[in-house]
Amino acid sequence: MKNILFLFVATLIFSCKEEKANNIEIPPAHVDKNENKTITHAEGFTITKNKNHSILEIKSPWPNSTQTFKYVLISAEEAAKTTFIKEEYDGILITPIEKIVVTSTTHIPALELLNVEETLIGFPGTNYISSEKTRARIDSSLVRELGKNEGINTEVLLNINPNVVIAFGVDGKSKSLETIKKANIPVVYNGDWVEKSPLAKAEWIKFFGALYNKEKQADSIFNQIEKDYTQAKKLALNAKNKPTILSGAMHKDVWYLPNGTSTEAQFLKDANTNYLWSNTTDKGSIALNFEVVYEKAKNADLWLSPSYYKSLEALEEANQHYTKFDAFKNKKIYSFSNTTGENGGVLYYELGTIRPDLVLKDIIKICHPELLENYEPFFFKKLE
């Protein structure tokens, strides 16, 4: 997100309960009698429980990846009397994890929902973290700054010596991560961002649950999120109309929009709306010129996620052509850019992945306000 183009494209991503998201009341963990943990939506990882250990398998943690990574999860007591052929695994992790480094803000909410945020000891780019709980730990020097994600400060990381580093891999090529591996610190790639649906991304909380021996709690949390999402989706079917939707904005001379197979488009479909580019199947974002977008969306009812712009004035100053759209004239533009943390970080980028139920309810409230009369959107706000 530090690269301007990457930030722009990222802001195209869409990202309820009446209580605040960070204070959501999670129901008691249910009793899971299955030994093999069932992953119902996510395709990027599996967890298989054996007699005295579990196997965590990570598949395709970045786009077009053909690699599969396999890790042993085992208690210290069992590890002392068990022998593994190390060459068959990419790491052996002693659980529960006591010291962890994560590399994406999307990992922070999972730690907090599982009540293990005190195990976080390092992060690259702490200024981007918005959570009040984790910010307090950063301010107390309990979470070390590790530099940039694309070039982690390995000297500091090796000094704090975490049990594991949860990496965010774009292509699997990182000199700093290779250095960390050579120091016998396991590096585990988290591929939640590659998943194809909002619930699949959220299900990666089970990945963290396995690291902390909190599988039942992770299951319970996800089950509640899944239930709330499904109920909201069913509620949206009661809408009397399907508003037409425009998304994105221009970067230089190119307008970027979510493609029809993206999770952003999935949110709009589940909210029972008419996204004007829902039938596209491009990989990544759709790149179009202004004329093509204007011709198709000039009369769109709503404009969601207009890049990083935080006001109508900012949009107009960036490009006078934006004022030609009906959505601009009618002040029907909504963005999550104004919902930020203490340091200005956009909260959606941190919390939206694990709370798709909140995102969906936000969009339903905007598109079908009569269905959620007493609901206040958490992420999305109207541009003024």
Is 20 a residue whose pLDDT tops 50?
Answer: no
How confident is the model at residue 32, as a pLDDT? 36
Angle between helices 263-270 and 356-367 in degrees, nearest 10: 50
How confident is the model at residue 96, as a pLDDT? 98
How confident is the model at residue 365, as a pLDDT? 98
Query: What is the helix (H) or strand (E) element at residue 159, kind and residue range?
Result: helix 154-160
Contacts of 228 (CB under 8 A, 6+ apart): 17, 357, 361
CA–CA gap between residue 259 and residue 256 (Å, rounded): 9
Domain residue ranges of the chain, discontinuous segments joined by +: 44-194, 236-382
**279 phi and psi angles, rounded to 5 deg:** -90, 0
CA–CA gap between residue 300 and residue 229 (Å, rounded): 26
Higher pLDDT, 228 or 345: 228
CA-atom Rg of the chain in angstroms: 21
- What is the share, in percent, of the chain residues with pLDDT greater than 70? 90
Judge whether 44-194 and 236-382 match in fold. Answer: yes
CA–CA gap between residue 384 and residue 382 (Å, rounded): 6
CA–CA gap between residue 14 and residue 268 (Å, rounded): 9
Tokens 């199947």 — which residue?
Answer: 281
CA–CA gap between residue 280 and residue 268 (Å, rounded): 14
Give the right CATH number for 236-382 from 3.40.50.1980, 1.10.1670.10, 3.40.50.300, 2.40.50.140: 3.40.50.1980
The Cβ of residue 14 has, within 10 Å, a number of other Cβ atoms equal to: 26
Instruction: Give the mean model confidence (pLDDT) for residues 133-159.
Output: 94
- The shares of helix, strand and coil residues in the chain, as percent rounded to the nearest 5, are 40, 20, 45
| 48-89 confidence digits (pLDDT tens) | 999 899 999 999 899 888 889 999 999 999 999 998 988 899
Query: What is the helix (H) or strand (E) element at residue 31, kind and residue range?
Result: none
**114 phi and psi angles, rounded to 5 deg:** -90, 0
Instruction: Give the mean model confidence (pLDDT) for residues 263-267.
Output: 96
Tokens 């999305």 — which residue?
Answer: 380
Tokens 């004022």 — which residue?
Answer: 323
How confident is the model at residue 112, as a pLDDT? 97
Q: Does domain 44-194 bear CATH number 3.40.50.1980?
A: yes
Cis peptide before 96 (omega within 30 of 0): yes
Q: Is the pTM of this model over 0.85?
A: yes
For residue 47, which of 214, 181, 176 has the smallest C-alpha distance?
Answer: 214
| 99-117 confidence digits (pLDDT tens) | 999 999 999 999 999 999 9
Give the chain's mean pLDDT. Answer: 90
